[in-house]
Amino acid sequence: MPQQKFPRDFLLAELKRVAAELGKIPTIEEFRHRARVAPETLISRFRGWSAALESAGFDPKKARLTYQDVDMIEEIRRVAEQLGRTPATTEFDQLSEFSASRISQRLGGSWSAACRAAGLRPFVNTRPPSVKGGWNKGQRKFSLDTDELRYVYEVEGLSAAAIARRHGVGANSVRRRLKECGIEMRRLHYTMPRVTTIEEIVYAELERRGVTFVKQQVVDGLWVVDALVPGAKLVIECDGEYWHSLPEMEKRDKRKDAYLRSRGYRVFRFPEAAIHADVHACVQRIVDALVDRFKQE
């Protein structure tokens, strides 16, 4: 939402309200769960969480800020919930702004101790016992359509391991399927999917309008969305003409949208032609939805 829709006095009043409700100065995560605006809005508006606290009349030195124990524990739990299991340190570093090594030092000296402090079993890197014919013999056969496989691998930028987790098969099955489909495997994979031109256009307009959003966000470890407005649970998808006109892609988009809606997200899809024709009108729909949500609350 454009920042002028949230007056400075309203943001400070919201911070004070949450503090009064908790009976103490809120942490960033506590504010996120109880406030009507995202903490990132205050951080952006006041140029830092400490500055926001000071503007509200609080002493930041008395607050438990970003790297305090309770926030670290909550972050471990959030990532674990997203993955559906205890994360490895490398997975945690990819999905969080916190550092696993820093948390380990703070919470007991090891990652296992930190996970136990969060109420989780320590991460164990195991795989099914070896059997004749390969460790994943007997698992569900992976036969994803070539176009859809090319899309998730080359456009979404998911690794073979990430695709395997999504479909419940072994990573080697995905690699074999990539080879069968004639899709060249990359040596390196990046944690963020590749950004397309139309996505860049929408991102630029969202930023110009002051909307707080996250690019290429993973939802529940299953779907990557082009943009997410976290506090309002609004998903923005930018659909390229070629990929999203394919029958398999249309079915996939419907499955994706149905899942996101079941999780409480509101999904906005903008075709490539609409983005090029009038990106301002596309983003205005997002702004209007945010304003309506703010008025309802």
* Local structure of residue 12 (DSSP, 8 states): H
* Percent of residues, the chain, with pLDDT higher than 90: 11
CATH topology of domain 197-296: Endonuclease; Chain A (3.40.960)
Q: Give me the mean pLDDT over the 85-102 stretch.
A: 80
pTM exceeds 0.85, yes or no: no
pLDDT of residue 4: 43
Indicate the length of the chain as a whole number: 297
pLDDT tens-digit series, residues 108-145 = 778 888 888 777 877 766 554 444 444 444 445 677 77
Distance between CA atoms of residues 213 and 207, nearest Å: 8
Check pLDDT > 60 for residue 239: yes
Q: What pLDDT score was predicted for residue 68?
A: 57
Measured between its terminal Cα atoms, the distance across the chain in Å is: 14
Equal CATH topology for 127-193 and 197-296: no
Mean pLDDT for the stretch of residues 180-205: 71
Q: Give the C-alpha separation, 74 to 96, whole Å.
A: 11
Contacts of 258 (CB under 8 A, 6+ apart): none
Question: What band does 67 get if pLDDT is binned at 50, 70 and 90?
Answer: very low
> Contact at 8 Å (CB) between 186 and 207?
no
C-alpha 14/C-alpha 35 separation (Å) is 7
Q: What is the pLDDT of residue 132?
A: 45
Q: Where are the domains of the chain?
A: 3-62, 69-117, 127-193, 197-296
In the chain, % helix, strand, coil (3-state, to 5) comes to: 55, 10, 35
> What value does the mean pLDDT take over residues 92-121?
79
User: Do 59 and 51 touch, CB atoms closer than 8 A?
Assistant: no
In CATH, 127-193 is 1.25.40: no
Strands 266-271 and 234-239: parallel
pLDDT at 69 over 80: no
> What is the average pLDDT value for the chain, to the nearest integer?
77
**CA distance linking residue 123 with residue 116, whole number of Å:** 10
Compute the half-sphere exposure of residue 187: CA atoms within 13 Å on the CB side of its CA.
0
pLDDT band at 89, cuts 50/70/90?
confident
